[in-house]
Amino acid sequence: MIRLALWLLGGLLLGGIVHLATVLMLPRMATQDAYARVSAVAPINAVIPMPPPTPEKAMMPFMDPAFAVSVCRYDLSRGTLKFSVPISPAYTSVSFYTRSDIAYYAINDRAAGRRVIELDLMTTEQRAALPEDQEITAADRLIVTSPTSTGLIVIRALASEPGLMSAARAALAAAQCRPQ
Amino acid sequence: MRLLFGSVFAFAIAAAIGLGATWIALTRGTAYGGVTIGVWTAWPKSGTPGIDPYARAMVARTGELPVGSGDGVAFYARNDDAGQALDGRCDVLMGGITPQARFWTITLYDPEGRLVANSVQRQGFTSQEIIRKSDGSFEIVVGPRARPGNWLPTGGVERYVLVLRLYDTPIGVATRTGRDAPMPSITKRACL
């Protein structure tokens, strides 16, 4: 009886380890995560518009239908990236995600404070390799460091009324992400 | 023999408990660090690099992208104020005011995060579209049949989720109570 209880206890402990291991492994094993879904349609280092979500078809679950969305799947292994987008009439935001869908940085039009959101994207190593004087002269240049060499930039413009959707799309159509 | 039986028994328990707990944690939406105000729950930490492992696993499973914390925050409601699950065959009144934010949107999804089809192609409202009362508060009727004023159609689905997204808002990781963030109430009225 005691032997059985010990086996049971051992099984429970091992179960806890299995649980933690699967939770930690899952992001690495997932084949249908947002990055994989975007990779299926988006070329590297280019901005493409995402189709608006409809009841029949959506790129990802829980997309906000009031927004026009464009995405840039980036790869910094060949060099840094220059990103720019003009702000739309209502609200524009730029969010950065790592290869494993972690949101590591986001900025909106008000925080950017200009008519155009402009920034340089680089890895921590590329940032460290920047000549120091250059960093001083470009003090007003916004530099975002990516924890991974690949990831996603998601650009979103609000159409505060349905009639403003085309204006939001037009603003996003002028977005650029290109290697320097 | 006894050793073999014992270890098979222990491994079976480990697999059942471990995988079962993972499955439940990922399907029931029980990520840690949620901010609950009334019936609304948000996970502002999910939009930061400090996202917890459970939320990460959930995001990887569903394929969604969390709202970045510099962008906004998303509050989810699956129940009304009386604790009953939101039913698309009933009229539900959502009213009151929203926390401070430059813009907000309210959207209706099915429990898997898909938009719900309906005759008028309306899946939500933005803060600019809504018709308000003279004191600035608003009322939205969420229900299967057309209503005057702000009507959000449910398409008659059995279960749905309301998502209130606040953009450019001070609400976030530091928010704890309803006094910082007054959320709209959700009350059930008549059912079909």
Interface contact B11, partner A, CB < 8 A = yes
ipTM of the complex: 0.87
C-alpha A64/C-alpha B74 separation (Å) is 10
pTM: 0.90
Regarding whether B87 and B63 lie in a shared domain, the answer is yes
C-alpha B136/C-alpha B133 separation (Å) is 5
Please tell me which of the candidates A15, A27, A106 has its beta carbon nearest to residue B13: A15
Interface contact B102, partner A, CB < 8 A = yes
pLDDT tens digits, residue range B100-112? 899 999 999 999 9
Which residues on chain B are in Cβ contact (under 8 Å) with A101? 56, 59-60, 65-66
pLDDT tens digits, residue range B16-28? 988 988 888 887 7
The pair of three-digit structure tokens given for residue B78, joined into one six-digit string: 């699956």
pLDDT tens digits, residue range A151-176? 999 999 999 888 899 999 999 999 99
pLDDT tens digits, residue range B42-72? 988 888 998 888 889 888 988 999 999 889 9
Please tell me which of the candidates B22, B68, B113 has its beta carbon nearest to residue A19: B22
Interface contact A52, partner B, CB < 8 A = no
Question: How many domains, in total, are found in chain B?
Answer: 2
Structural domain boundaries enclosing B23: 1-30
Alpha carbon separation from B159 to A55, A72, B112, B175 (Å, rounded): 15, 34, 10, 28
Regarding whether B143 and B50 lie in a shared domain, the answer is yes
Decide yes or no: CATH 2.60.40 for domain A34-179.
yes
C-alpha A58/C-alpha A50 separation (Å) is 9
Regarding whether B13 and B61 lie in a shared domain, the answer is no
The pair of three-digit structure tokens given for residue A160, joined into one six-digit string: 């505060």
Residue of B nearest to A94 (CA): B71
C-alpha B107/C-alpha B81 separation (Å) is 18
Specify the higher pLDDT residue, A134 or B3. Answer: B3
Best of B76, B126, B152 to mutate (most A CBs within 10 Å, chain A): B126
Apex CA A136: angle with CA A134 and CA A139, to 5°?
110
